[in-house]
Amino acid sequence: MKILFLLFLFLSTLFSASLESLLDEYKKTTENSLETVDEKMGHVRIYSQKEIKLMQYHKLSDILKELPLFTLNRNRFGVANPSLAGSKTSVSGFFRFFINDHEISSAQTKSPFINWGDLPLDFIDHVEIYYGQSSFSLGNDSGIYFIRLYTKDPKKENGAEITSRISNNHTNSNGFTYSSQLGTDWSYLIYLNNTKIRDDADYNGRKLFNDSHRRYLYLDLQNETTSINVGYSDLTKDNYMGFSKDVTPNSGEIYSKDYFFDVTKYFLDDKSIKLNFAFGKNNRKYKEENNERITIIPYLFTSKQNITKYDEDLDLTKTNAYLSKTFNYKYNNFLAALSMENKKYKVNNRTIVNSNTIIDVGAFNDFNEESVYSLLFQDDYKIRDDLILIGNAKYDKYKRKGFLNDSSNSNYRVGTIYTPYKNFGLKSFYTITTVPQDFYSVDFALPVKKELKEQKYRFYTLEGVFTTDNSKFGITYDHVTIKDFIYLSSVGFVNVDHKITTDGWMFDYEYNFENQNKVKLNYYLTSLSEIANNSQSGGYIKYMGEYEKFEYFTLLNYKSAYDYKDIHVPSAYDVSIGSTYNVTKNLSVSLKGENIFNKSTQSLFYDASTKKDFALKDYGRSVTMTLKWVF
């Protein structure tokens, strides 16, 4: 790693210009993100449009896999899913994901990643990633991290763009973006994409197929006070391992279609009243056949132990409404809001073949609807110019249909932002919050104990930042305690019967060279009260820049080695390099090599037929060429 770091520094000295031009470019490329970022929401990392372009982040998962304190693992269904450092998560329900004002997640799992984790970034202006509780301000489901993607401004783009990509593994993606004015008040942006991915892995001499076909449509229609967003995504893919007892199913397929409609309206001259309404629907189908049997958790301790075929057809809907008012009084900035969310879960069909007999099993239980009514309040009080105190309170009332009881909980957060010097600042938060159960965890809970408890989080974070004219250094500490953590064991989801604690440190450094090139370094390490089954430390070094008609980058993404039971998982050294040649102002050609040493992260799995754990790589080596034409 030291050699690679010196190489980065050596390359960076080859190109020199003036600091003034760097600052002008930095201002230009971060202007949009500075307009939307809310420091009071938590600890934030920003990926500007300039960085997305230079680093050739083609899809959201390209950013997710380098995030500190996480590992982007693959689950049994071949879906890339972020796991907290030291742990392996099959479905990440603690991540909230927004496109503009709309929160996207499955009503079944609270996870967005099956449909939206590989969302192309061609139409995205910038990305903000927060470590904090978004629901205190936005009224959505509780979570620990949240991602906000902001689409490009149609008034500024006002044109068309075609993007075409092809990789050496026969993966290809084609996207089209068009934006224009509608009269003097309205403007719109529309994005279309068609992506085909070829992917497979080897296990015990057999292929695990993970090919997929994804299609996306996005429409953003807006004026000064109103924004209307429509999103659509459908996915057809192989089921990878699926529920198969011996890991290698005979056949299987996942189909998921997701769409939503979202409208936001601001009232009054100062836009201090905000009204949002959204509706989304997800249709999900799953089928699998396996002669060596299929393990379905709800039937583990029943007579249905000889399942060789499983079919499922689900409809899930989610309706949201949110109303907020902001107002100022002396040195206080207040926000008060009401929100409502309704989720419905309908089983259209669920059948199994058990001992050659077709059985219509229907719903696993009668928990099929949940409504959440929330009241939230925020105050940030400016004690003096360099010190702000932040207070949040949120009350949630859950009404449920079925066997699961209604509940209510209160969430609180206090924080401070202190900037005693122009180039030095501190930010700290203490949060008490609850992450409830979802339809998926209740369906696949331990059959003899389906009444899972809500997860109770308490976490403290402290961040310090020091800057100079051309550099920035940051350090962040977090301490998290979780009570009744919901964990997927080999016999279903269970509440862990003791408190889990974790501590983490994160270090960031950024240096801007005089010719608009920059280097970014990150290193993090964590400790966990449990036996770790994932990497506990890691980081990255990335260098990016441009010279005349060329743009270029180099990235090393590192995740530490770990041991679990009798398995040793080596360190991951994912090295990627790339360059773009701007043929004209409107035409460019890019080449990107990913994981060129084929040393990616690995995920742990369990083979029920041999009763052994094993590890498989999360992704392979690839080379991608991109052609982009703006007109």
What is the model's pLDDT at position 23?
A: 34
pLDDT of residue 302: 80
> What pLDDT shows up at residue 146?
86
In the predicted model, is pLDDT for residue 121 greater than 50?
yes
Distance CA 153, CA 237 (A): 32
Taking only the tens place, the pLDDT of each residue in 516-571 is 899 999 999 999 999 999 999 999 999 999 999 999 999 999 999 999 999 999 99
| pLDDT greater than 90 at residue 143 | no
pLDDT over 70 (residue 21): no
Residue 152 has pLDDT above 80, yes or no: yes
Confidence of residue 233 (pLDDT cuts 50, 70, 90): very high
SS3 112: coil
Asked if 140 contacts 320 with a C-beta cutoff of 8 angstroms, the reply is: yes
Is 143 within 8 Å of 435 (Cβ atoms)?
A: yes
Nearest to 6 by CA among 558, 592, 571, 554: 554
Q: What is the pLDDT of residue 37?
A: 75
Mean of pLDDT values over 82-87: 89
Q: Dump pLDDT digits (tens) for 335-377.
A: 999 999 999 999 999 999 999 999 999 999 999 999 999 999 9
Separation of alpha carbons 60 and 149, rounded Å:
9
Residues 127-147 have a mean pLDDT of 81
Query: Given its phi and psi angles, is residue 78 left (phi above 0), alpha (psi -120 to 50 degrees) or beta?
Result: left
pLDDT of residue 299: 85
Query: Is residue 36's pLDDT more than 80?
Result: no
| Residue 12 pLDDT greater than 50, yes or no | no
Residue 254 has pLDDT above 60, yes or no: yes
Distance CA 513, CA 547 (A): 13
Q: What is the pLDDT of residue 32?
A: 54
Give the pLDDT score at 94. Answer: 77
CA distances, 578 to each of 65, 119, 171 (Å): 17, 20, 18
- Asked whether the predicted pLDDT for residue 48 surpasses 80, the reply is yes
Tell whether the model's pLDDT for residue 279 goes beyond 90. yes
**CB of 181 closer than 8 Å to CB of 153:** no
Q: What percent of the chain has pLDDT over 70?
A: 94
- The pLDDT assigned to 20 comes to 35
Higher pLDDT, 101 or 25: 101
Mean pLDDT, range 284-300, rounded to an integer: 92
Q: Does 49 have pLDDT greater than 50?
A: yes
Average pLDDT over residues 289-300: 91
Find the range with the poorest average confidence among 10-24, 225-239, 514-528.
Answer: 10-24
Query: What pLDDT band is residue 28 in, cutting at 50, 70 and 90?
Result: very low
Q: Which range, of 90-99, 264-273, 285-294, averages the lowest pLDDT? A: 90-99
pLDDT at 85 over 50: yes
pTM of the model: 0.90
State the average pLDDT over residues 76-101: 88
Mean pLDDT of 18-32: 39
Range of weakest confidence among 2-11, 68-77, 277-286: 2-11
Residue 18 — very low, low, confident or very high, per pLDDT cuts 50/70/90?
Answer: very low
Distance CA 382, CA 391 (A): 12
- Provide mean pLDDT across the span 387-406: 95
115-119, 135-139, 228-232, 468-472: segment of lowest average pLDDT: 135-139
Q: Cα(579)–Cα(327) distance, rounded to whole angstroms? A: 48
Q: Give residue 333's pLDDT.
A: 94
- Given a cut of 80, whether residue 6 has pLDDT beyond it is no
Q: Report phi then psi at 619, rounded to 5.
A: -160, 165
Whether 395 has a pLDDT exceeding 80, the answer reads yes
DSSP secondary structure letter of residue 445? B
pLDDT (mean) for 330-337: 94
Mean pLDDT (the chain, rounded): 90
| Contacts for 385 with CB less than 8 Å, ≥ 6 apart | none
Tokens of 320: 């949201």
Domains along the sequence of the chain with CATH: 1-630 (2.40.170.20)
- The per-residue pLDDT for 39 is 81
536 and 562 in contact (C-beta within 8 Å)? yes
Q: What is the pLDDT of residue 582?
A: 96
Assess whether pLDDT exceeds 50 at residue 24. Answer: no
Q: Is 133 in contact with 144 (CB distance < 8 Å)?
A: yes
Choice among 90-104, 533-547, 604-618 with the minimum mean pLDDT: 90-104
**Per-residue confidence at 1, pLDDT binned at 50, 70, 90?**
very low
Which of 9-18, 397-406, 556-565 is least confident? 9-18
Say which range, 18-22, 253-257, 495-499, has the weakest mean pLDDT: 18-22
Q: Strand, helix or coil at 466?
A: strand
Q: What is the mean pLDDT of residues 393-421?
A: 94
Query: Is the predicted pLDDT of residue 16 greater than 60, yes or no?
Result: no
Tens-digit pLDDT profile for residues 157-192: 889 999 999 999 889 999 999 999 988 899 999 999
pLDDT for 3: 37
Residue 11 has pLDDT above 70, yes or no: no
pLDDT band at 35 (very low <50, low <70, confident <90, very high): low
